[in-house]
Each structure stands twice: as C-alpha cells, then as structure tokens.
Structure 1
Amino acid sequence: MLDQISRGAVGVLVVEDDAVTRKTLCLAIESAPELKLLTAFDSVKPALAWLETTRPDVLLTDLGLPDGSGIEIIHACTHRYPQTDIMVVTMSSDEANVLACIEAGASGYVLKDAGKMDIARAVLDLRAGGAPMSPTIARMVLAKVRDGKKPQAATFPTAGDTTSLTKREAAILDLIAQGDSYGEVAKLLSVSVGTVQTHIKNIYGKLAVHSRGEAVFEAHRRGLLKLGHPRSE
C-alpha cells in the first residue's frame, strides 16, 4: 500500500479543529487510492511549523481555528509552495472571508453544511485544475466579479500598467474562470494539458499572482477579461 502511494499519489494536509469533521476528512482521503493523507492538525501554529519543511500537493483547511485563522495558513502555503492547491472547508459563507481566501490563494471553497460532500472527488478535481465550490459560494464570487469589474477597472490600473494577455491566454483564463479544469480547457481549445499549464504559468507571471482565483480577480480588476465570453484565437 505504501509503495503504491509513493508512486504519484496526491499528498494532502488537513487542518481542522473539530475532531469529528477532521476524522471524516481524513477517512475520505485515506479511502481514495489516488490520495495520501500526509498529516492533520487542529490549529494554526503546528500547521505553519510543518509547512516550513514539507510541501503538500493539496491543503484542506478550516477558517475558524483555536489560535487564529486558516487564512494565515493559506498565505504561508501559497508563499512557500505556489504549486500547492488549496481548498477551504468551513461553515463560513461570509463574503469577506470567501474573497480573502481566494485572494490569499485558495482555489476551492466548500461549506460544511452543503450536504454530503465527496471530499476525495473534490480534491482530485482541484488537483486536475478545477475549482470546487458550493453553489452559493460560486454564485457569490461570480456576482462579486461582475458587479465589481466596472468601478475597479476605472480605479486601480496605473498609467504604467501595460500588462496584457495574448488571445490564447485570455481564452484559457476565461474558461478557468467558468470552472473548467485544465483537461477540459485543453480539449475545448485542441491543445495539450501541458500547453495549458505553460500558458497558466505565463499568466501568473504577467499578473504577479500565485493561484487561479487570484489570476481571475486580477485580470478582471485590470479589465482584461469578460466573464462568460470565452475568446477564440
């Protein structure tokens, strides 16, 4: 079992203070052969210490922890390991928390009370380039992006900001913003997944961001995208 896990299994770190929920998350991860539970913590401090020496493929974290906020862990993980995928599993649907998590680097946001969750599937979707979100959270994020685009575009860009995306980069980011995985984007645009990943890396560099969520928000902030209207080459 361990030998099989070591050959390409997705390593997952869990941070959750509620013992029952933590056990549920851990069991879900351990039940999937494609996943490997690296470790689990119930607070911020030990999680931050662990991240100083170890990189997870995926971080699952709650927000309300005994000694701080899960956003601290998201920031630390994104800064040290920008390739780690991050999903929040929490009770909070507060808009400020949702947006703060996405801006910090989270690509998924699932509510604990959203019914039975297939955590293993959500983690695999996240790792494949998806953005698992509870429906209420997805609607909130989309509404925020749409409502905020016009005033933000008029307020934030500076005279020296000449960043632009190629048509292909804009098309890929539009599709990512709509929830498509890297594999789905590759199929729609008739390119390889590796090509999509290369474009995403270039987009991150141009926008100075470290996650899909940040890239979408930053591109909209600069008026570079039109949500829901994928561009073609």
Structure 2
Amino acid sequence: MSEQGETGEATTILLVEDDAPTCWRLQDALVKAGYKVRSAGTLGEARQALNGGAPRVLLTDLRLPDGHGIELIRETRQRFPDTEIMVISALGDEESVISAITVGATGYLLKDAFPTDIATTVRDLVAGHSPISASIARFIVRRTQGAAPSSAEPPRGPVLNTARLTPREIDILWGIAKGFSYAEIGCGCSSGGR
C-alpha cells in the first residue's frame, strides 16, 4: 500500500538521523510503507535537502554532528509552514522538549519508546495528530498544570515551575497534549475548553 498525498504522489519524508543503523531501520520501514524518503545525517545535509523542496514530513533527531535539530525545526517551520515535523530523539529533558515544540514540532518521540510501526505514526502525524511518547505527554501535562503533587501520592519527580512559560507557550502545549494539529494550534482553535 502506497502512502499518497493529496496530489496522488507518494508522501515525501526528510529523515534526519546521524546514527546510521537507526536511519536505515527507519528509512526501510517507511519505504516499505510506500513513503518517498530522503535522508540526511547532518544539519548541513538536511539544509541541502530542503533546498530541493518542501517535504510533507520532517522526522529529525535533535543532537546532530554539526548543530542542533532545533535550528532545523525553526528554519523548516518558517520556510515550509505546511510541513509536519516530528522529533525522534534520545533527548527528553525539559529544555529540549519545550524548545522543539515551541519552534514548531508537532510530535515528539523518544528513541527508547519507538512505536512498533513508524509508518502508522507518520500517517497519524499527516492526519493532524501529534504523536508524543507517553512520558513526554505526561511531562507536558504536569508542567502545564503546575505539577502540584497530591499528599496521598509520593512525587514522581521535581515540581516544574511554569512561571517561565508565556500564555502562548501554554496554549501550544495544551493543544499538543490534546492532539490538535499544528494548524489548529496556530489558528487558536485549540485554546477553548482548557
């Protein structure tokens, strides 16, 4: 079965991953599912690939040999607002997650929590969902709620200070945690019912 976009052509994916075995495994699974995949191992190679046109989906690691994936996400979002962007990284710290989402990532998967079927995850992303590893989703929810632990339950980690988040950043995180697409979050359609 071929994954086709609105024009009937195969959905294009730019996969940015510097670990060769991981890149091969992901690329193989995506190609077998009918996606057209270009791959890059560095920030420079990714930028060159983007000069060839907008991919429908950008799947990127954050830690790259010649820079940070946050730069790539920001540049891609500015140049190609319709491209869906998902992070696939080992970095699950607060700064990495918030930065990636704030600059335009609509999904965030940790490498240790890869879905069994990456093609299905990409299909969900293109359909307007925001695939997020469970631990990242939990982290986002706790951060936006102020993470006040109940006295009946021992704390599972540090209480995170949300005072540094702007109201817009909180809206973005709520939208992603609720599964809204980047377009819905961008137009403010997700801010109701919080």
TM superposition score normalised by structure 2: 0.77
Gaps of 5+ in 2: 147-159
Aligned in 2, Cα 1:115/1:62: closer, same or farther, shift over 3 Å? closer
Q: What percentage of residue pairs aligned between the two structures are identical?
A: 40
Deviations 1:182-204 (A, max 9, x none): 9xxxxxxxxxxxxxx7xx3xx63
For 2:83 and 2:144, the matched residues in 1 are separated by 24
Corresponding position of 2:137: 138
Cα shift readout 1:4-52 (whole Å, capped 9, x = no counterpart) = 897232110000000000001101110113x221x10100011112213
Deviating 4+ runs (over 6 angstroms): 173-176
1:94 to 1:75, Cα distance in 2 relative to 1, 3 A: same
Q: Secondary structure at the match of 2:26?
A: helix
Structure 1 residue 150 displacement after superposition: 7.8
Q: Secondary structure at the match of 1:113?
A: helix
Indicate the RMSD between aligned Cα atoms, in angstroms. Answer: 3.3
Gaps of 5+ in 1: 158-169, 183-196, 208-214, 220-224, 228-233
Q: What are the superposed Cα offsets for residues 65-100 of structure 1, whole Å, 9 maximum, x if unpaired?
A: 100111111011001001100000111111110000
Instruction: State the AA in 1 paired with 2:30.
Output: I
The SS at the match of 1:7 is: coil
CA separation of 1:36 and 1:100: change in aligned 2, threshold 3 A: same
Return closer, same or farther for 1:79/1:116 CA change in 2, 3 Å cut-off: closer
Aligned residue type for 1:91: A
Cα distance in 1 for residues equivalent to 2:96 and 2:162: 22
Indicate the larger mover: 89-98 or 114-123: 114-123
How far apart are the structure 2 equivalents of 1:142 and 1:74?
A: 23
Match of 2:22 in 1: 21
Structure 1 residues 75, 181: closer, same or farther in 2, change over 3 A?
closer
Instruction: Assess if the C-alpha contact under 8 Å between 1:174 and 1:226 holds in 2.
Output: no
Query: 1:179: how far off?
Result: 1.8
Distance 1:57 1:111 in 2: 21
**Segment of structure 1 superposing worse, 173-182 or 72-81:** 173-182
Q: 1: distance between equivalents of 2:102 and 2:42?
A: 21
Whether contact under 8 Å (2:40, 2:49) holds in the other structure is no
**Letter in structure 1 aligned against 2:14:** L
TM-fit CA distance, 1:175: 7.1
